[in-house]
Structure 1
């Protein structure tokens, strides 16, 4: 079983905000470590690699078609995200689910802090 942190963010997001929200999500669900950090492949932040290194996690980029496939499993939906990306569900939740592999399950709904959104999922890996 692996645990994945999925992320979404706006243009103002910083590495510090990303670290804080991932740690907060891990604490909420009593998670000690994450195996993967999943991000949408159509968004880039200069801090993505540093964030993955901070958690000693593999960085995984998830394509929009895969995010769309994950929508039925997501717990939250966003009209703002849908208008901006064409993906109606939480990007963070869809990323976490996609990178968790077989039988993915969210620990809970996404969490938001500052300009970053984080969701945690578990699965059997790829």
Structure 2
């Protein structure tokens, strides 16, 4: 596998993650519950990253149509937001700062996501895939 999809994944994912983390922190600073802020900031990051991944990170002649890709991506995102919300809740209750809890969850999810996005959701036909 070429390093190109990995680098592009990190650029898009890093930008979306930064946007998500800033959105989360702003919402928490304005008094929103960290779990609610997680769900809303996750939605911001998800829509940004889906567009970037489809159009640039994993660009090519995809095996799935865009509707199926978005459905699979949204399902993965739902699993991620539920798992991260549970983890964030537990870590905040244990005394960890909300932003540290959020950042840790985001790092764990990134590795899992690359594998699923590259091999399943944004899989390209062999002639164009990386």
TM-score class, shorter: under 0.3
When Rg is computed on C-alpha atoms for both structures, the one with the higher figure is 2
Q: TM-score, normalised by structure 2?
A: 0.26
Which of the pair is proportionally richer in strand? 1
